């Protein structure tokens, strides 16, 4: 399981020109799932997402977490995060989990994150053609892969 975390001052997700999610200060999380991901991967990435100290404190030092600032979150499923680009110029998405595996893991990730931060997490729509808009604050962008914990 791989995530891209972007610290945002605002973000939204639209489908067919209809906004389905919108936040102010917090995180936009893009989530890519592979076939062998499980609850351990979810737990690891949820703890990281909730507790990464990437928000400024009163001294403008990145010393606060999402929980500390009571920030908002949008989670968007993005199978292209699992693209293999080693051969040729056309990315291969063969590692990305199929919907029957990915949807329950995506749903579980969102629910686990909600429990961790104690508030509702907004989402895109799995498998939809989404337009994601954001103002990356900083910019701060962090990539975490649950298979590379060390």
Report the CATH number at residue 113.
Answer: 3.50.80.10
Those residues whose C-beta lies under 8 Å from the C-beta of residue 81, and which sit 6 or more positions away, are 2, 3, 4, 30, 31, 32
Residue 63 counted as domain residue:
yes
Q: 135 vs 10, 83, 132, 138, 140, CA distance in Å?
A: 6, 25, 10, 9, 10
CA distance 83 to 105: 18
What is the span of the domain harbouring residue 65? Answer: 2-145
Question: What is the model's pLDDT at position 1?
Answer: 97
How wide is the angle at C-alpha 76 spanned by C-alphas 2 and 24, nearest 5°? 115
Domain count, the chain: 1
In a domain, 150, yes or no: no
Residue 109 belongs to some domain of the structure? yes
CA gap 21, 39 in Å, rounded: 25
Quote the pLDDT of residue 150.
Answer: 67
Give the pLDDT confidence score for residue 135 in this predicted structure.
Answer: 98
Do the domain assignments include residue 58?
A: yes
* Residue 149, Ramachandran bin (φ over 0: left; ψ between -120 and 50: alpha; else beta): alpha
Query: Quick one: pLDDT at residue 149?
Result: 79
**Smallest Cα–Cα separation from 75: which of 50, 110, 40, 126?**
110
pLDDT in tens, the chain (150 residues): 999 999 999 999 999 999 999 999 999 999 999 999 999 999 999 999 999 999 999 999 999 999 999 999 999 999 999 999 999 999 999 999 999 999 999 999 999 999 999 999 999 999 999 999 999 999 999 999 999 976
pLDDT at res. 112: 98
Closest C-alpha to 81, from 65, 62, 95: 95
Q: What are the residue numbers of the active site?
A: 80
In the prediction, which pLDDT does 11 show?
98
Q: Does residue 83 form part of some domain?
A: yes
């Amino acid at each position: 399981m791989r995530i891209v975390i972007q610290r945002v001052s605002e973000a939204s997700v639209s489908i067919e020109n209809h906004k389905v999610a919108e936040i102010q200060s917090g995180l936009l999380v893009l989530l890519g799932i592979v076939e062998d991901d499980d609850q351990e991967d979810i737990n690891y990435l949820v703890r990281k997402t909730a507790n990464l100290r990437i928000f400024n404190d009163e001294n403008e030092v990145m010393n606060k977490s999402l929980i500390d600032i009571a920030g908002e979150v949008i989670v968007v499923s993005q199978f292209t995060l699992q693209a293999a680009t080693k051969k040729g110029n056309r990315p291969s998405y063969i590692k990305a989990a199929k919907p029957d595996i990915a949807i329950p893991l995506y749903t579980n990730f969102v629910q686990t994150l909600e429990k961790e931060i104690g508030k509702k997490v907004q989402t895109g729509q799995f498998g939809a053609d989404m337009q994601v808009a954001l103002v990356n604050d900083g910019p701060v962008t962090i990539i975490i892969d649950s298979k590379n914990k060390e």
